[in-house]
Each structure stands twice: as structure tokens, then as C-alpha cells.
Amino acid sequence: MSIEQIYVIAEYADIFQIGARNMQNFMLLKELGRIKKPVMLKRGISATLEELLLSAEYILSQGNDEVMLCERGIRTFENYTRNTLDLSSVPSLKELSHLPIIVDPSHSTGRWRLVGPMAKSAIVAGADGILIEVHPNPKVSLSDGAQALRLKNFSKLMMELNAVAHAVDREINLTGNVD
Amino acid sequence: MSIEQIYVIAEYADIFQIGARNMQNFMLLKELGRIKKPVMLKRGISATLEELLLSAEYILSQGNDEVMLCERGIRTFENYTRNTLDLSSVPSLKELSHLPIIVDPSHSTGRWRLVGPMAKSAIVAGADGILIEVHPNPKVSLSDGAQALRLKNFSKLMMELNAVAHAVDREINLTGNVD
Amino acid sequence: MSIEQIYVIAEYADIFQIGARNMQNFMLLKELGRIKKPVMLKRGISATLEELLLSAEYILSQGNDEVMLCERGIRTFENYTRNTLDLSSVPSLKELSHLPIIVDPSHSTGRWRLVGPMAKSAIVAGADGILIEVHPNPKVSLSDGAQALRLKNFSKLMMELNAVAHAVDREINLTGNVD
Amino acid sequence: MSIEQIYVIAEYADIFQIGARNMQNFMLLKELGRIKKPVMLKRGISATLEELLLSAEYILSQGNDEVMLCERGIRTFENYTRNTLDLSSVPSLKELSHLPIIVDPSHSTGRWRLVGPMAKSAIVAGADGILIEVHPNPKVSLSDGAQALRLKNFSKLMMELNAVAHAVDREINLTGNVD
């Protein structure tokens, strides 16, 4: 992503998602700090929690305080999964920061069968939001089909997430998500 | 642990716990395959899921089919936590094997504040059991005090685990665990 | 670095050095492919050799064929050194690509005492160039002082590098480097 | 390896090689400390330099001071090579310890074409010895064929190693190695 694109995107998008590869693109982060749009900052695949928080500071320091952190897996030696979802980062980041934390079980695992269990775990671990890839027909998806949920499985998962959230005294806002 | 110790231990212990450093001590594993005691095999800190399963085969192939796998964190670059709890290993191992899976949130995180959230996440991810370090007074613990729960926090956690388990249609057997 | 800065820099600099954090800043790479200046592309701290080569393609595909690759260490669990210099990447990249390879023993090790041995090893492993940090007084260096060589040690190292290069039938051009 | 095997092996072998998987088999190490035979201790694939040195202490503390350390590669995300040869461990260990250091370019790279460059680099980095796999016909080798040198290539490499060693004022004892 280039810095010039920010202003065009800002006209149409509700939230900026900064991908793992751009987590340390500091000039981009500073520019995002000067706009008034929420930014979801994804953790780099080999970024420590400290580095993630320091990157968030580039945005916050310019006056934009609507920053969300996103755990989306780190690169390890294990390759059954695409990356290793570091779920203990959620309560760890809660100790270190006030920023909301989103978990992405789709990109981290790279396997749709693991998305449900990891989404539920994320809620219970304290995540403030979950990013799930859904596709009406994953087999024809142009990218990331292997990790996308079908609509039916997504609806089922949302019901399960709701039950799990209740068990930890939390509420999931289903508005507009499932029909 | 040495192979000769197995028979002494077998007289007193109910379960053999094979630590991460011994996961590929193949002669030890084979000998454990010849006894009739349950074995909990901990994942090596840099072992892939495939290697963990292959190690289990050393025990199983000798006739002992009471093997449990234990996820206890892997070594990564992140060092806020002691190791990185790879929770997606739980549903992954469920796809690959019929063996029960135990999760150890204490050794993996190394921080008692993270034990609760990770224990709950493990249940929801499908773990068949959890290994939690508890100490009446962690400050005077001879080892691993930083990751030990006080009795009061442990009792509280067990109640929370119960609620979470119910939400995913599971049951926790509290007998003998909490008073 | 932002894309707009390229044209200002191009007026003054002889070579573009793209740091590890920008190795997958694809829009920047494409723009660098449209200028006529050599580019040294540093390997990301968690980039595979394949990803490094694919990043180089972004530059090459736009018509700029003056690309050098730079091994500067990868992030691993070892932290005696700042990063782990993956020296086998040099002959590996030579198998996979025709591009010249530079080794940076300063950033990878983060310790000036290791710079000499690793610089010599790099030459012998087949590196086409070495990037060494030198400072007249490392103690007052504003950054990276711990890995900088003093001028005297640098001069001594150049002589040693020359001897090592001869042993593998190579020649070091000392012009302008040492006085 | 089991502890009982030590005394049988001691009758026939000149040196004990403790493989990476046994680097933290502490009872084995202690027993090796009680015999009078040199021990080459290989670094575990995810062992830090500190852990390697602490393991060596188990042998040394029992009275056997003939311990050699062996760098044989660590497990990282890179998988073009079998493991990542951490060559900066050689001068690092030289800073921390007086023990001789052997480098294994065969197991670490897993590719015979990389063995020569890495063997030469190891000499220049300060290694006290090199462990090279050689096979008269690697294609029919029962294990590790992909990393084995043919006799002809090994002879050629020894000559090259000699030249490189001279360049750093060292001498290779070729007795009995090449004919």
C-alpha cells in the first residue's frame, strides 16, 4: 500500500486494515495517524508483542486513537498450519495495553476446519473481535479458499460463538452478520 | 530420566509424564510401550505435530495404547511468554489422531495471569484435559512459582472452566479437584 | 521509506538500500524497477529465500536488472546474537539465481567481535560483497555502536579478507576502502 | 541411546557422539562424565548457546574434561536447507568457552552442494574440526544420501580446505583422511 492511496480509500472504507507486511511501514503508519478513521493493525509474522505495540504508537502519536490490534499468527517451524496462532498474545496484550484486540483464525491456521475451534478459543481468551473469511463457494475462491467458511458453517459458528461468549459473560452483537 | 527408573516409578505412579526433552528419547519410549500404565507424552519445544505423533508410535507399537499427547508450548522468537502455546495443535491433532490431548497453560505461558484465559481456551478448542500448576504460596515455590496459581484462584478457575465446558456441551469432572 | 522519496534520493545516491522491513513493500519495489539505479534488497528477518527472490522479481520485472540481494540475518530463538546470520543462504541463492549476493555481518550479529570471523566466512561461502559498519568512535555512535568496527580494526580486517579471498581464487578491490 | 550402552560402546569407540536429541538427556550426560573418553556434544535443534554450554557442564562436572561442542544447525522457518547452520555460534562459543568446536555442514544443510562452501566458512570462522558425510555412492546410501559427498569431491574439498586454513594461519592434518 502506498501513502497516497490512503485518502482515496478513506472516502470509501470504514476501517483501514494494515496487513502484516506493512506493520513496520512507519511512514504509512504516521500518515494513518493523521486521519480520522479506525485502523486495524495486523501483527507482522515475526513481530514481537513489543514491536506491535510500538508500531501502534506511530498511529496514536499523530492523534488517531482508534487503533485495533490484530493477532493473525506468527511464523514458526510448524507448518501443518499456515502460521502459528499465538493466542496467549490476547491476554498478554490486555496486560500491556488498552487497545482492542481482534483475532484472525482464518489467516493464521490456513485451514477452514480449524477456524471454528480457534474462533471460540479467541472469544474465551478475551478477544474483542474476530475476523473470519467466508465465501459462498470456497472452491472457486480466487484466494485463500482453503481457509474460508461456507455461509452455512459460518451461521452455525456464530451460534456457537454466542453460547461461548455467554459462558464468559460477554455478548456478541449479531446485527447484520447472520441471516 | 533413565530407562531403569521406569520400573521403580511404575510401582508408585499412576501416569508417566514424559517431558519435552525426552520426547525423542526413543529407547525410553519403547520401554514405556512395554508397561501397562498410561503415558502422557509432552511435545518437544521444537517438535512438529508429525514428530509428536511419530514419537507416540514408539509407545503404541509396543502394545501400550494408553497414550495422551500434551501441548505445552513451542519455542519461537516471542519471549513475553516463556514459550508459545500452539493451541491450534489441539484441533489439528484431533484431525490426525484418536489420542486424547492435554494442554499445559502453565509451562507454555510461564505467567500465572495467562493460565486462566489459556485454560479456558484449551477446553473450547477441544482439549481432553488441562495440566495446571498450583501452589499454596507461589512466592516460596522451589520452581516455576511465576506460573503457579494460588489455591483460591484455582478454585475460581475451575468454576469458570465448568461454565465454558457447558457452553461447548462438555462436562468437567470436579471430583477430588476442588474443595 | 515512501515511494515519493525515491526520486529525490536517486539524484544523490549511487545505490538504493531497501531495508529488511521493506522487502515486501511491493509498490516501492515496483517503482524502484522503473529507475536506473542499482538496488540492494535486504532479506526480511523472517523471509524465506523464495520470498526474497520473489521480491527481487518485482524490481526486475519493471526493467531494472541491477539488483543485489543481501543476507542480513534472520530472526530465530537464539538471542546471543541480534539475529542469526544464515550463511548457507549464499551458496543456496547462487544455485537459484544469478544475482550478486552481499552479506551484512554487522547487523546480523550485532556484535563487533563477530564481524571479522563472519565477514571472512562470507567471502569463502561465495559472497560477492560485504557490508561492514565502521565508526571512528563506536562508543559515541548514535546507533548500532555495538556492532561497529573501529577504523584500525577495519583496516586489519581488510588485509585478512584479502588473504582469505586469495585462498579461494578471488580478488578484493581495495580501492578507496582503506587508507 | 540408553545409559547401559555406554560401557559397551566405550570398549570399541574412540569418541562418543551425542546427537542433538540427547543434548538434554542429563542422566546420560552425567554418566558420560564418569568415563575417560572424548565426547562430542551436538547442539539440539532448538538449543541456545547457553543451553549447549550448560549441557556440557553435566559432563565436565563429573570429571571428564574431553568435551567437544558441535554446531549442526538449528530449526528455523527456512526450509530450503534442512536446518539453518548458525555459523556465528563458532566465534560466539569461543568467547564464552574454551571447549573445541566442531561444525557439521552435512546435517545442517542437508544438501551436498552446500557442504563445501560451509566447510570452508567454518574453518575461517574458527572451527576446530569439521564433520563431513562421505559415501562412495550416495545414491544407494541407506540414510542421508542427499548430503553425502562422493570420495572424489571429498578429496578435492580437503585440498581447498587446506588452502583456506593457510590463509588464516591454521594447519589441517591430512593424515589418514585422503589418499
pLDDT tens column, C79-102:
999 999 999 999 999 999 999 999
pLDDT at D178 over 50: no
Residues B144 and B106 sit within 8 Å (Cβ to Cβ)? yes
CA-based nearest distance B133→chain C, Å: 25
In the A/B pair of chains, how many CB contacts fall below 8 A? Answer: 123
Instruction: Read off the pLDDT band of B179 (50, 70, 90).
Output: very low
Contact of A22 with chain C, judged by CB distance below 8 Å, is answered with: yes
With CA atoms as reference, the chain D residue closest to A79 would be D77
Q: Tell me the three cell numbers of residue C20.
A: 529488511
Q: Tell me the three cell numbers of residue C76.
A: 530465530
pLDDT at D146 over 70: yes
Nearest to B98 by CA among B57, B43, B42: B57
pLDDT in tens, D127-136: 999 999 999 9
Beta bridge partners of D41: D18, D69
Query: Where is average pLDDT lowest: A160-174, C17-31, D107-121?
Result: A160-174
pLDDT at A174: 67
Q: Which is more confident, C175 or D103?
A: D103
Q: How far apart are CA A43 and CA A72, in angstroms?
A: 6
What is the pLDDT averaged over residues B21-33?
A: 95
DSSP secondary structure, B25-68, as one string: -HHHHHHHTTSSS-EEEEPPTT--HHHHHHHHHHHHTTT---EE
Residues D62 and D30 sit within 8 Å (Cβ to Cβ)? yes
Residues D90 and D123 sit within 8 Å (Cβ to Cβ)? no
pLDDT at D179: 38
pLDDT at B2 over 90: no
pLDDT in tens, C129-175: 999 999 999 999 998 889 999 999 999 999 999 999 999 999 887 65
pLDDT at A161 over 80: yes
Nearest to D35 by CA among D75, D67, D79, D76: D67
Contact of C109 with chain A, judged by CB distance below 8 Å, is answered with: no
CA-based nearest distance D76→chain A, Å: 6
Residues B108 and B81 sit within 8 Å (Cβ to Cβ)? yes
Q: What is the mean pLDDT of chain B?
A: 94
Provide CB contacts within 8 A for C19, sequence distance 6+. Answer: C1, C42
What is the pLDDT averaged over residues A140-164?
A: 94
Q: How far apart are CA D98 and CA A154, in angstroms?
A: 60
pLDDT in tens, A103-120: 999 999 999 999 999 999
pLDDT at B178 over 60: no
pLDDT in tens, D78-94: 999 999 999 999 999 99
Q: How far apart are CA B157 and CA A157, in angstroms?
A: 25
Task: Note whether B3 contacts D1, CB cutoff 8 Å.
Answer: no
| Main-chain dihedrals φ then ψ at residue A103, nearest 5 degrees | -115, 140
- For the whole prediction, is pTM greater than 0.80? yes
Helices B89-96 + B49-60 axis angle, to 10: 50
Q: Which residue among C25, C45, C75 sits closest to A25, beta carbon to beta carbon?
A: C25
pLDDT at C175: 58
Gap between the terminal Cα atoms of chain A: 34
Sign of CA dihedral A127, A131, A134, A140: negative
Coil/strand/helix, residue A100: coil
- 34-93 in chain C: CB under 8 A from chain D: 46, 48-50, 74, 76-81, 84-92
